[in-house]
Amino acid sequence: MKRGFVLISTLALIVILSFLVLVLSRTIYSDTLKTTIYANSIEKRIEIINYESFLVDLLIDNSVLNKNLNLAEQEINFSIQKKFPQLTLSLTDYSTCFNINSLVKPFQNINVKNEENGDLFINLLKLSDIDRSIHSELLDRLYDALDNDSLPETYGAEDLFYISNDNLSLNPDQLFIHKSQIKNLALLNKNDLSRIHNDICAIPSTELKFNVNSLDLMTAKVFLSLFSELTLNDIERILLNKPVNGYTTFKNFIDISGIDENKIDKSRIIFKPDFIMINYLLALEGQIFNFVSLLSLQRNNFVVYRTLVR
Amino acid sequence: MIRKGFTLLEVLIALLVAALISIMSFDFLSNTIFLKERVDTSIERDSKHSRAIHTLRLDMMQAVPYKMKDQNFNNLNVSLIGSNSERILTFVSLNTNDLTLTGSNLRRVIYIYKDNKLSRKTTLANNENVVISENLLLDNIENLNLRFGDELSDLSDYYPDAQYSENINFPSYIYISYEFQNEKFQQVLGFFK
């Protein structure tokens, strides 16, 4: 037992020293990991960005996928796993929201208010239970923010109003880049905004079109505001009769769904998205990195914006 | 008689063995500590530079074609202003998601190089009077130089340059170089538009 003392004390000393070395090495490793993981996430994002033109081409060329975004999402996730095993993406159709920029239309070289679409926007406000007393003011403020003239609408406000308020950021006579710019008008309160936040969007176009193949209960409100003569029963018929590969033409849509074509403005219906949002989730070393791309489905020049936030 | 404790010889042997192991491991341990200090310093320095460049890279990735106004609210009709004077970069980026904000998610991002310091400031997209954040990115850097262009072989010292077209909002590349403790750092960054 006494002889064992030398052995035990020696072993104890070795254990203590090894523990010290281990702690130091562990600190070095975790410090290095922390700095590289952030750099890796950015490099991965750049790799993914370079892959986006392929995704856009795929959605333009494949008529089955562009008419069924759920299927497209599954297919792309399946194929992308080989190249980016840590990546999951989801697709959102940006042709099922109310484009705020459609409240103006091009006239000669400038944008002027589009009253026809303004009426449809009022429909959306009514369906969203927004206080009726602010409908006209909100619409006029939006016209003034988006149009190119400096003449305020009856209930609107031009640059001077915003310049005089230090906390506001006026719109520089151009289309909205992001729907959050509606907050700069300082008219909608938090509750009102939350009621229409998911229904509106800002895309770089003055057109207002709806992809009927992405119609669902979440987007039905926007659809009803565009086609106010339709009822919930009509929506149900469109959803129930939709072919697996989606509606292909206006005639096909009317024939299969059985909807009265007089209730629908043909020019506002499309059958594949013009704009999509891709939400990427990247899992690196147990941490999740998120980023979003809003893309136009046209070759070349397809990037609208990219952001780390939705 | 039952003996308790250890003999002097046993204690001396134990002390001798312990001393031998300590001497042998001292060199190894001191090397590890020295290595840790060096790695820490290097990580801190590199991560500072890497963080600064990555912040710029992320801002550029999130840049939007927003035509800015100047401080007197006159239209500038450009989405990016780049130069080698104090205010090296100014553009608008979609980089916040604070739903409690009363204004939009767009932010004007301004990179400033002054007194050998590189700092980043964000303001409302069209109102620089409202500053949202201000951070020092790098200190003690010298000879910071930026160049802009669509071809790496043909870069200009400022943006927009003579070849500027209103339809093109951003240059394809920004080349950035600077010196820190006599070491030269350089990067080519893209807008990926």
Give B31-44 pLDDT, tens digit per residue: 877 877 877 777 77
* A1 Cβ under 8 Å from any chain B Cβ: no
Residues 46-75 of A with CB under 8 A from B: 46, 49
Residue with tokens 């151009």: A174
State the ipTM, two decimals.
Answer: 0.80
- The predicted-structure confidence for B7-16, as pLDDT tens digits, reads as follows 788 788 878 8
Question: Of A127, A120, A162, A165, which Cα lies nearest the Cα of A141?
Answer: A162
Residue A225 or residue A67, greater confidence: A225
Q: Look at A35 and B10 and tell me if their CB atoms are within 8 Å.
A: no
Of B85-94, B114-123, B150-159, minimum mean pLDDT range: B150-159
Band (B100; pLDDT cuts 50, 70, 90): low
- pTM for the full predicted model: 0.81
Q: Does B13 touch chain A (CB under 8 A)?
A: yes
Q: Residue B51's closest CA among A279, A50, A41?
A: A41
Distance of CA B45 to the CA centre of its chain: 10
DSSP 8-state secondary structure symbol assigned to residue A197: T
Q: In angstroms, rounded to a whole number, what is the distance separating the alpha carbons of residues A215 and A232?
A: 12
pLDDT at A268: 95
What distance in Å separates residue B59's CA from the closest CA in chain A?
A: 9
How many Cβ contacts (< 8 angstroms) between chains A and B?
137
Does residue A160 belong to the interface with chain B, where contact is any CB pair within 8 Å?
no
pLDDT value of residue A2: 56
Domains of chain A, CATH where assigned: 48-94+273-310 (3.10.450), 97-205 (1.10.40.60), 209-271 (1.10.40)
> Is the separation of the CB atoms in B112 and B126 below 8 Å?
no
Domain boundaries, chain B: 60-190
The pLDDT of residue B44 is 72
Closest C-alpha to A177, from B73, B62, B57, B167: B62
Q: Which three-class secondary structure state does DSSP give residue B78? A: coil
B66 vs A: CB within 8 A: yes
Which pLDDT score is estimated for B101? 62
Compare A242 and B27 and report the one with higher pLDDT.
A242
Q: Does B18 touch chain A (CB under 8 A)?
A: yes
- For A13, the closest of B21, B43, B92 (CB atoms) is B21
Interface contact B103, partner A, CB < 8 A = yes
Q: Does A32 touch chain B (CB under 8 A)?
A: yes
**Cα separation of A148 and A104, whole Å?**
9
Q: Å from A192 to nearest chain B CA? A: 13
Phi, psi torsion values for B129, nearest 5 degrees: -70, -25
